[in-house]
Structure 1
Amino acid sequence: MSQMFAITILVLILFIGEIVSIRTRAWIPSIFISAILFLIGYWTFFPADIVSLAGVPPAVATLLIYLLITNMGTLLSLNELKAQWRTILIALAGIAGIMAGLFSLGMLLFDFETVIVAIPPLVGGVVSALIMSEGAEAAGLPTLAVFAIVIYVMQGFAGYPLTSVMLKREGKNLLKKIRNNELTERKLVEDPPENFEGELREPKMFARMPEKYNTDFFKFFRLAFVGYLAYLVSTLAAPIVEISPFVLCLLFGVIARSIGFLERHPLQKANAFGFAIMGLLLFIFDGLKNATPSMMLEIIYPLVACIIIGVAGMYIFSFIVGKILKVSKEMAFAVSLTALYGFPADYIITVEVINALTKDAKEREILMSHMLPPMLVAGFITVTIVSVILAGIFVGFL
């Protein structure tokens, strides 16, 4: 298969996912449809290395993650990040709900090792899944080694549609308040400049530099530099404490935007955001190549049962904590569900839902300011931080 044929097929799949999402007004997220089509492709005629063949090997995907997460940080202000303490508590409550459900009901259905292997991938991403998979393999449990990867790959099938439903309900409630003048825009970022020239002269740290020098490459350089600082700090801190460089990318992006080193959404201003998202999505779906039909049949029962029990526990705990913190049950559950997929799905699903709910630019901005920050913060808390910590603890029990 040639490179251009591979990339054409893969981008067509992403496009079909978007069409379905648009036609169903985000009731069926594009990521859900794309994942199904990728799975069918791998079970039929896709070569296992089709994503790398198309031009997105792991090294490129890692680069895109650094750039995209730093870019996402520029969408948040320091004040907004501090204001998300409720989100963090609800996200942690959701994880506690998954653990409570699997350590109680799950232990009645499965053995201890299955439950231990299931929890970190269910509340996290590829790193925690790999930790548990390698731990199970080392412990002489090859089936559970596969199970750890597949539960990570398949959990999104539950998370994507549920999140879309919750966010649509939340968005409709917010729109009703907006149209009744009961809700105003949060200061997600500083008020935008009133003229185009002011927007072009961002960031403020380089306000005196002639605009003709603020090229796309200069935007890329500053974004890459901030990502490198996050990597450097993570590496230097490693002997003392393990800090994911991706978490630091988010934090450093917020700081760089606040001090005027980066503009808001630099990848979009450099006309590269869509390409970066495309590359990252292809890499994520590349994980589906490991989910063969025979493998799925072997572990389908524990897979489905663990996801159902985990999501039920997540809903109960997030509902209770959300009620205490006066956060709607829809938003509380959506925030918890980010544990099932993380970034960039949390961003994509939120934007899809908002675009489906209203065509008014002002309403979209208000919805974005209310819904996007908690979704982004929750995704990083659950997937990037907590799940890796849990994996590091739980792998010791195998």
Structure 2
Amino acid sequence: MEPVLAFTIVMAIWTIGEFISSKTRALISMMLVASMIFLIGFSADFFPHDLILDSGLLNLGTAVIGIIIVHLGTMMSFEDLKAQWKTFVIGASTVVVMTLVLLLVSQLFFDRNIAVAGTAAITGGTVSVLMVQDKIQEIYQAGQSTGHLSSYLLAVFPLLILNMKNLVGFLVTANILKKEATRVKGEYRKGNLSFYEEEVAANTSADVKSVLPDFLQTPYATLFLLGLTVYVSGWLSRMSGGYINTFVIALLLGIILRHFKVFKPNALTPTDSFGLLMISIMVIAFGPLADIQPKDLLALVWPIIFYLVAGVLIIFASAYVIGRRVGYSGPLSIAVGMTSFFGFPGTMVLTKEAAAAVGETEEEIAVIEQNILPIMVTGGFSTITITSVITGGLIVGLMMGL
């Protein structure tokens, strides 16, 4: 297929997914819609099986995954983590507990590769899924079997969990946040909380001075430095014998380099390339769908149900206990833990919807948002952006050819 036509078809699928996600207020994720379209299109031969490869996005995505990871690191600062330390403790601890428990328990029911793939997917986001798929490809290229499932089916497994957990996460968290919003409204009416109006300047790259000379702050120079950071991350990973994943190091370097003002916050934003790069890495996850038949997916129904149910139960138990220990209410603690199922911008959307549904005046809505929104947004960063990348990068090394 002509590259331009393949690219146009992929963008059309993305447009449909975005439209449906918007109309359902993100209840049905863009990724879920795109997955279903790709799966049906490939299995019914509506799409050529090399569609994604021909679009040119696959090669681009493979090259820039690390750059996106460094960018995610520049979205967080040590000051943010310090101000919301309780939130970070709840979110990070919940992901760690969920990772350890699921990794141990799931191996009682499934083989190690399924356990690792499922655990990484349920505790993380797109990056975790890509790390799993990269490891599966490495095993496949080495001429080894991936266990009870074929390499293609095993690669699709975490993608399906990622799609389904967004839906589950939205449904569960929406109700929990309404309970927390009701509690906040009650506290406000009792006079225990106050409404404050202040103009908070957004911490954008334009507001922060870099230590670099001007010629290294252009869009091209920024992409060069991001690429160089990823290359250094790979070198450090190899120095550790591969024990520490390249993406884990890239994330940490992003946070550190922002702190020392080498990178500005949200490093990719001034380059106007974030959207295209993000689409290109998301498309990578859909590659295995080209070789999967719907009937093959029946083998994944039980593992998917297991991880969705077990994940929610572990979050409820661990986040509640940890959150109460640091002084958060039960519903708010659980809501922070549940951010590992969807992350930003779902954290913002659900909070605003809960505030609008519970608050009876504009002032009450504002008070609810002021007391919940910063916590939920930080929660999403602590779970999906930071901790899940680290835990995912550590456990994918446990996958092996069998």
Tell me, yes or no, whether TM beats 0.5. yes
For residue 256 of structure 2, what is the aligned residue in structure 1? Answer: 255
- Return the offset for 1:10: 0.9
What's the offset of the Cα at 1:380? Answer: 5.6
TM-score normalised according to structure 1 size: 0.76
- Cα contact 1:6–1:54 (8 A) shared by 2: yes
Displacement after TM superposition at 1:150 (Å)? 3.1
Aligned CA distance change for structure 1 residues 100 and 270 (closer, same or farther; 3 Å): same
Q: Is the CA contact (8 Å cut-off) linking 1:67 and 1:227 kept in structure 2? A: yes
SS of match in other structure, 1:395: coil
Output the CA distance in 2 between the equivalents of 1:364 and 1:6.
43
Say if 1:323 and 1:329, in contact at 8 Å, map to a contact too. Answer: yes
Residue type of the alignment partner of 2:6: A
User: In the alignment, which residue of structure 1 is the partner of 2:225?
Assistant: 222
Whether the aligned pair in 1 keeps the contact of 2:113 and 2:146 (CA below 8 Å) is no
Which one is further off, 152-161 or 168-177?
Answer: 168-177
Tell me how far 1:92 sits from its aligned partner: 1.9
Mapped to 2, the partners of 1:368 and 1:33 lie a distance apart of: 27
Change (3 A) 1:93 1:182: farther
Structure 2: gaps spanning 5 or more residues:
121-128, 324-331, 357-361
Q: Does 1:375 align with 2:385?
A: no
Aligned to 2:211, the other structure's residue is in SS state: helix
Question: Which piece of structure 1 moves more, 137-146 or 273-282?
Answer: 137-146
Asked if the contact 2:69–2:251 (Cα under 8 Å) also holds between the matched residues in 1, the reply is yes
Deviation at 1:364, TM superposition (A): 8.1
Single out whichever of 10-19 and 348-357 deviates more from structure 2: 348-357
Matched residue type, 1:17: G
Instruction: State the partner residue of 1:304.
Output: 301
- 1:110-149 equivalent positions in 2, closer than 5 A: 114-124=110-120, 125-128=129-132, 131=135, 134=139, 138=144, 141=147, 143=149, 145-149=151-155
TM-score, reference length from structure 2? 0.75
Would you say the 8 A contact 1:21–1:352 is kept in 2?
A: no
SS at match of 1:156: helix
Contact 1:129 1:149 in 2 (8 A): yes
Deviations 1:147-166 (A, max 9, x none): 42232232123212122334
The structure 2 residue matched to 1:102, chosen from 100, 103, 106, is 106
Question: Does the CA-based 8 Å contact 1:94-1:317 persist in structure 2?
Answer: yes
- Alignment CA distance shift 1:387-1:369 (3 Å): same
2:205 and 2:270 in contact (8 A); partners too = no
Q: Which runs of 5+ in 1 are unaligned?
A: 107-113, 186-190, 339-345
Counterpart in the other structure of 1:334: 339
- Pick the aligned partner of 1:322 from 319, 324, 328: 319
1:251 CA drift (Å): 1.1
CA contact under 8 A between 1:203 and 1:262: conserved in structure 2? no
Alignment map for 1:1-398 (pairs within 5 Å): 1-44=1-44, 45-58=46-59, 60-81=60-81, 83=85, 84-99=88-103, 101-103=105-107, 106=109, 114-124=110-120, 125-128=129-132, 131=135, 134=139, 138=144, 141=147, 143=149, 145-169=151-175, 177=184, 180=188, 182=193, 192=201, 200=206, 202-206=208-212, 214-235=217-238, 237-239=239-241, 242-296=243-297, 300=298, 302-326=299-323, 328-335=333-340, 337=341, 346-347=343-344, 349-350=346-347, 353=350, 369-379=374-384, 384-387=389-392, 389-393=394-398, 395=400, 398=402
Q: Which amino acid aligns with 1:221?
A: F
Task: Tell me the C-alpha RMSD between the 2 structures.
Answer: 3.7
Q: % of aligned pairs identical?
A: 19
> Is the partner of 1:26 in helix, strand or coil?
coil
Cα pair distance change 1:392/1:250, threshold 3 Å: closer
Q: How far apart, in 1, do the equivalents of 2:119 and 2:175 lie? A: 24
